[in-house]
Amino acid sequence: MTPATYQVVQSGGEVIAEYALSFDQGRTDRLLVIPALFDEANRLRRLTVEVMRRLDHAGIDSMLPDLPGCNESLQVLGEQDLGHWQHAMVSAAREFRATRVLAIRGGSLVVPRSLPGWRYAPTGGATILRQMLRMRILSSREASREETQGGLLEQGLAEGLELAGYQLSAAMIADLQAAMPPEETEQTIIGQDMLGGGALWLRAEPGEAPAQADALAAIITVGIKA
């Protein structure tokens, strides 16, 4: 497991380097892994990396890029939208010479559509947004503040909003409200039932599930090596 970088060309022509976690030995089979979004990324981080470890043992390179504005990125999250993130993932796929893609949960909203591969438990942006709004409302109640989903959404669409510790732009709020995983792609959907056990993104804290990592890595390995 080694750090790597990929380049993203901004609309104004500026080139920005973004970080990626990689298991890269220059092998023929190369998987771009697009993480889940926001708080779900934290809850699924361990599973994601463990799947990459298993793929490495199976002779498959994999790269997990940071989305601009997240993790080690020096970009401002409040200036991002889904279109920018998809552009970054297309850039990462090209630079890492990815032959397949695995998009996890909301990562399916920014997946390069022409790249074959898999989408694990894809979800719509509105579902992600509702979950974060619900967390904000519960936190406000504990602090004796009353907020409503409708009021927060109106505020977010007008001026952006902080949700679950993430400062989201108005453009990102609007994108999430409307975004659905693409229907016509080269990617196969992997449902949670194919891995067994409960979904890690529903847990209160980040966790791990070795059996699920085994199952997900096996599906991908068979799909690539068959």
pLDDT of residue 204 exceeding 90, the answer is: no
Point out the least confidently predicted range of 23-32, 87-96, 201-210.
201-210
The predicted structure's pLDDT at residue 186: 82
- pLDDT average, residue stretch 77-100: 96
C-alpha distances out from residue 224 to 58, 216, 221, Å: 10, 13, 5
Domains, the chain, in order of start with CATH, read 2-124+180-225 (3.40.50.1820), 125-178 (no CATH)
pLDDT digits (tens, 9 = 90+) for 157-198: 999 999 989 999 999 999 999 999 887 778 999 999 999 999
Q: Quote the percentage of the chain above a pLDDT of 70.
A: 100
| CA dist., res. 30 & res. 157, Å (int) | 38
Q: Which residues of 30-63 are buried (b: 16+ CB within 10 A; e: fewer)?
A: bbbbbbbbbbbbbbbbbbbbbbbebbbeeebbbb
